[in-house]
Amino acid sequence: MNKKKFKHILITGGAGYVGVPTVSLLLEKGYKVTVIDNLMWTGNVLLPFLSNTGFNFIKGDIRSKKELTDSFEDIDIVIHLAAIVGFPACRKYPKESREINVDGTQHVVDFAKGKIPIIFASTGSTYGKIIEKYCTETTPLNPLSHYGKQKAEAEDIIKTNDSFIIYRFATAFGVSPRMRLDLLINDFAFRAVSEKTLIVYEKEFMRTFIHVKDMARSFLFALENFDKMNKEIYNVGDERLNVSKEEVCRLLQKYVEFYLHFVEVGHDIDQRDYMVDYSKIQKVGYDTTISIEEGIKELIKLSDIIKIENPYSNV
């Protein structure tokens, strides 16, 4: 007997860093999954799913209402991931990022027409520069970057849908088929191994992290516990993974030999320097499973496998 409340999941941005492990997990759990993605990076990451009869792909752009139309056929719920992600990319492409992160989210809500629930991937970057150092879901948002502001606006749009869950994720780390090296731990690990040097600013700033596979697990958790979680915002991460940039470097030093230098120049645009409270989602029953050290070990192996220029630094 199939007890699933939702059977067919639409994932926007399913070919991305978070999307691919999410598609993989949901297919493995027997969900039917349709992905809509404009393949800004690569479609190769979806190849392992093509033999699965539960997988369907639509090459489309969420800015186009016409392309979204097809993706909404026979859908029970949407996991909305498609976005221009991170402050460097949104600063570089302010118009496009607004069209995708804000207007695109409005299109998804227009298609859901209140009837189809939406799980939305927001971010702790919406907190921005906060006064108290411990954030809960009720901490007033003060985003400073285009990215943080656009995601905060998108949250307001999502809240107009009849049923939704908003996840404010910690910064991801770990290996995914669509690899991102612009994320802090991934970036630090890759540079420590491949360049043997790491120059770090704001070393005492506290950041908060989550493994990308635990993000995928959080979506499965939301599908299985939707009624309990409906119409709520959750920080998604783990207090054990609230650590300073210096602590990340010290963990790396346990496994890699490299030259580490802390400097006083440079700063994070969103001035993210906070610890995040995750008790709300823990009370519903969600917990993470992968530590930073485990992530570092897999990232060290990755650095031997891929040889690419690191596009960003210190983000």
Ligand X SMILES: NC(=O)c1ccc[n+]([C@@H]2O[C@H](COP(=O)([O-])OP(=O)(O)OC[C@H]3O[C@@H](n4cnc5c(N)ncnc54)[C@H](O)[C@@H]3O)[C@@H](O)[C@H]2O)c1
Query: Residue 148, Cα to own-chain centre: how many angstroms?
Result: 13
Residue 257 burial by CB count (10 A; 0-12/13-18/19+): exposed, middle or buried?
Answer: exposed
Spatial separation of the C-alpha atoms in residues 33 and 9, rounded to whole Å:
5
Residues touching ligand X: how many (CB under 6 A)?
30
Which residue lies nearer to ligand X by CB, 63 or 159?
Answer: 63
123 binds ligand X (CB under 6 A): yes
Q: 223: helix, coil or strand?
A: helix
Smallest distance from the beta carbon of 261 to ligand X, in angstroms?
25
For residue 232, the cross-strand partners are: 165
* Binder among 38, 56, 105, 218 for ligand X (CB under 6 A): 38
Smallest distance from the beta carbon of 181 to ligand X, in angstroms?
11
* Binder among 7, 8, 52, 63 for ligand X (CB under 6 A): 63
172 binds ligand X (CB under 6 A): yes
* Binder among 25, 40, 130, 315 for ligand X (CB under 6 A): 40
169 binds ligand X (CB under 6 A): yes
141 binds ligand X (CB under 6 A): no
Smallest distance from the beta carbon of 267 to ligand X, in angstroms?
19
* Binder among 25, 39, 243, 260 for ligand X (CB under 6 A): 39
Smallest distance from the beta carbon of 212 to ligand X, in angstroms?
7
Smallest distance from the beta carbon of 61 to ligand X, in angstroms?
4
**Residue 47, C-beta contacts closer than 8 angstroms, at least 6 positions apart:** none
Question: Which range in 58-66, 110-118, 185-193, 266-274 contacts ligand X by CB under 6 A?
Answer: 58-66
Spatial separation of the C-alpha atoms in residues 294 and 290, rounded to whole Å:
6
Q: Which of residues 75-114 bind ligand X (CB under 6 A)?
A: 81-83, 85, 100, 104
Which residue lies nearer to ligand X by CB, 172 or 249?
Answer: 172
Number of Cβ within a 10 Å radius of residue 182? 18
Copy the structure tokens of residue 143: 């985003």
Cβ proximity of 211 and 173 under 8 Å: yes
- For ligand X, the nearest residue by Cβ is 16
User: Where are any strands of DSSP class E within the chain?
Assistant: 8-12, 32-37, 55-59, 77-80, 118-123, 134-135, 164-169, 171-173, 197-201, 206-211, 232-236, 242-244, 259-263, 275-276
Longest distance between any two alpha carbons in the chain, whole Å: 60
Please give the residue ranges that form the binding site for ligand X (CB under 6 A). 12-13, 15-19, 36-41, 61-63, 81-83, 85, 100, 104, 121, 123, 169, 171-172, 178, 180, 183
